[in-house]
Amino acid sequence: MDKEFLNKTFIITGASSGIGKATVELALQRGANVAATGRNIEELKKLHQKYNNKNLEIIAANITIEADRKTIVEKCINKFGEIDVLVNAAGIIGSGSIENTTLEQWDYMMDVNLRSTFRLIQIALPYLIKRKGNIVNVSSITGIRAFPNVLAYCVSKAGIDQLTHCAALELAPKGVRINSVNPGVVVTNLHKASGMSEETYNAFLEHSKTTHPLGRVGTAEEVAELILFLASEKAAWITGVSYSIDGGRAQTCLR
């Protein structure tokens, strides 16, 4: 297992924090070549300094910009010559209901969380088909269960799941697998990046212990482990599946 991804090349978005960063680190530790992309160049540089080897290429990019999406794929190919795994971990969250979500907020959520994932898959697909590679999308518990006051986020993640399911049927004959993971509450910068204060976030995490049957929130590393399992040969007969990793949260009713 230590080097199970030797000679395999990953593109991982959202790599400057949270689940994306944890996935980069685990993939590198297991021998992969990784093109790590995100918007926070300082955090990407820290990753590069930590590992400082030829297996890591950092790419500062905004996945909502078409030129940047193409650059991510081009730089990966120029550096490593191939793409075996695409991990779409970049995403944002924001509050808003059906009554007060603005069209601008809706469009931005769909752009970051859904449209950009769809387009990056399209750009990387010729290389993934050539290598009979696979794709793992980071969705959310909100893709399969409804929650109030995060309307656009829920819809964007439901879209990720359906994108995963439909694309899996279309890509299976070409030897390309695609799955998604659906985390519950995980300790990352996601909520604070949306504007939640430290105090509010800590209270949210404490409350979340009561809403997850296992009695705690998750870690980015736990989700990264599932992502790497789905990307591995051990999951060679798994495609088109949305995997819950949520301490049992999806089994409960709203509370």
Residue-wise pLDDT for 31-66, tens only, equals 999 999 999 999 999 999 998 888 999 999 999 999
Q: Is the dihedral of CA 54, 15, 107, 115 positive or negative?
A: positive
Residue 208, domain member (yes or no): no
The distance in angstroms from the start CA to the end CA of the chain is 40
pLDDT, tens digit (0-9, with 9 covering 90-100), for 219-229: 999 999 999 99
Residue 54, domain member (yes or no): yes
To 5 degrees, how large is the angle CA 104–CA 150–CA 72?
60
The DSSP output letter for 86 is: E
pLDDT mean over 23-28:
97
Residue 53, domain member (yes or no): yes
- pLDDT > 90: what percent of the chain? 84
Residue 202, domain member (yes or no): no
pLDDT, tens digit (0-9, with 9 covering 90-100), for 90-116: 999 999 999 999 999 999 999 999 999
Catalytic residues: 153
Q: Which residue range(s) make up the domain with 65? A: 9-189+220-244
What integer best gives the mean pLDDT of the chain?
94
Residue 201 CB burial class (10 angstroms; 0-12, 13-18, ≥19): middle
pLDDT, tens digit (0-9, with 9 covering 90-100), for 146-183: 999 999 999 999 999 999 999 999 999 999 999 999 99
Residue 136, domain member (yes or no): yes
Residue 111, domain member (yes or no): yes
pLDDT bin (cut points 50, 70, 90) of residue 187 is confident
Residue 4, domain member (yes or no): no
Residue 225 CB burial class (10 angstroms; 0-12, 13-18, ≥19): middle
Residue 250 CB burial class (10 angstroms; 0-12, 13-18, ≥19): middle
Q: How far apart are CA 150 and CA 204, in angstroms?
A: 15
What DSSP line would sit under 158-211, residue for residue? HHHHHHHHHHHHHHGGGT-EEEEEEE-SEESSHHHHTT--HHHHHHHHHHHHHH
pLDDT bin (cut points 50, 70, 90) of residue 188 is confident
Domain count, the chain: 1
CATH of the domain at 230: 3.40.50.720
Residue 51, domain member (yes or no): yes
pLDDT bin (cut points 50, 70, 90) of residue 200 is confident
